[in-house]
A and B are shown apart, each in its own frame.
Chain A
Amino acid sequence: QQPVQSPQAVILREGEDAVINCSSSKALYSVHWYRQKHGEAPVFLMILLKGGEQKGHEKISASFNEKKQQSSLYLTASQLSYSGTYFCGTEIAGNQFYFGTGTSLTVIP
């Protein structure tokens, strides 16, 4: 029931764009996205609810395709501060919630 993220790891140069995908085998009620920097607690980025909406947070945005049970996180014009591990979190029936497998993102100068 753990959603699968792809890619597992990505290295970007500053200014490049990236897309992180999150795919679930279960019907989704909502999708959360988090970023965790090394040695710190995860930080909530955004939540997407059923309805296929797209949300933005600074230069980071996300989409939610309810029918495909997928969400994608878009990072544009990446900055060094974007480095970290990104997790999706999916809410399924019965108030159950699962973290994704994680994507390590490294931005280099």
Chain B
Amino acid sequence: EPEVTQTPSHQVTQMGQEVILRCVPISNHLYFYWYRQILGQKVEFLVSFYNNEISEKSEIFDDQFSVERPDGSNFTLKIRSTKLEDSAMYFCASGYSPGPRDFGPGTRLTVT
């Protein structure tokens, strides 16, 4: 059964550095999402992407965040200048209709 994959599984970076989190959604899905979960807290919506553009973004998704679907298979989340409070688990998800259907295993981002 197809799965959403994410790389890396764990990323450690220094404050102020740029990171790119990568996701390969399920191939026939049309809707793509990034969520984050700070340790011990609930899953928070970051951004949704449909038809090659952002369809919705949360207050968290400020100018330091960006998303791309560069080649029709990968879906990336870039954080330009990481802060300590960006430390979290980042989940990518995709679906063939609105709403995430399948989640990736997550990337744990640690900012030191």
Is there a chain B Cβ closer than 8 Å to A71's Cβ?
no
Q: A41, B91: Cβ atoms under 8 Å? A: yes
A79 to B112, CA, bound (A): 40
For B102, the chain A residues whose CB sits under 8 A away are 44
Q: A32, B105: Cβ atoms under 8 Å? A: no
Q: B101, A44: Cβ atoms under 8 Å? A: yes
Q: B100, A89: Cβ atoms under 8 Å? A: yes
Contact of A42 among B48, B55, B91 (CB under 8 A): B91
CB distance from B58 to the nearest CB of A (A): 10
Per DSSP, chain A at the interface is strand
Is there a chain B Cβ closer than 8 Å to A96's Cβ?
yes
CB distance from B101 to the nearest CB of A (A): 5
Is there a chain B Cβ closer than 8 Å to A102's Cβ?
yes
For A89, the chain B residues whose CB sits under 8 A away are 99-100
A52 to B73, CA, bound (A): 35
A95 to B33, CA, bound (A): 13
Is there a chain B Cβ closer than 8 Å to A47's Cβ?
yes
A39 to B2, CA, bound (A): 22
How many residue pairs link A and B with beta carbons under 8 A? The number is 50
Chain B residues bordering chain A, tally (CB within 8 A)? 20
Q: A36-B43, A95-B50, A99-B45 are in contact. Are A42 and B103 (CB under 8 A)?
A: yes
A89 to B43, CA, bound (A): 12
Is there a chain A Cβ closer than 8 Å to B28's Cβ?
no
Contact of A97 among B42, B98, B105 (CB under 8 A): B98
A-B contact pairs, 25 of them (CB 8 A): A30-B97, A36-B43, A40-B105, A41-B91, A41-B104, A41-B106, A42-B43, A42-B103, A43-B103, A44-B101, A44-B103, A47-B97, A47-B99, A87-B43, A89-B99, A89-B100, A95-B31, A95-B55, A95-B98, A96-B56, A96-B98, A97-B99, A99-B42, A99-B45, A102-B42
Instruction: Report A's interface with B, CB cutoff 8 A.
Output: 29-30, 32, 36, 40-44, 47, 85, 87, 89, 91, 95-99, 101-102
Instruction: Report B's interface with A, CB cutoff 8 A.
Output: 31, 42-43, 45, 48, 50, 55-56, 91, 93, 97-106
